[in-house]
Amino acid sequence: FEMETKGNQYDMELFFKLNPTLEALEIKLNAGEEASFVIPYTMNEQQVSKKDWNRVDKMKLYMVLQYYPQKIRLCCTG
């Protein structure tokens, strides 16, 4: 998870509590299969400036899927 120059990791313990049918972080799907799951991120006021905290729901947030060899990220907007 990235927001401008700040970054954060998802909450793995909460991930498994919210997705009780998953047994591992790796999710394998066959062609045509779909899966839905929740990826929880925590954020608090200490992580960002007061100015950013007040507008966090309007900022672009990025979920980084891969850093190397090529950075791949999804843009999440509020």
CA distance 18 to 59: 25
Query: Which pLDDT band holds residue 32 (cuts at 50, 70, 90)?
Result: very high
Residue environment code for 13-40, b if the CB has 16+ CB neighbours within 10 A, otherwise e: eebeeebeeeeeeeeeeeeeeeeeeeee
Residue type, 49: S
Rg, the chain, Cα only: 15
Please tell me which residue, 78 or 55, carries the higher pLDDT value.
55
**Entry pTM:** 0.57
Residues 11-30 have a mean pLDDT of 88
User: What pLDDT, on the 0 to 100 scale, is given for residue 57?
Assistant: 81
Statement: residue 6 has pLDDT above 80:
no
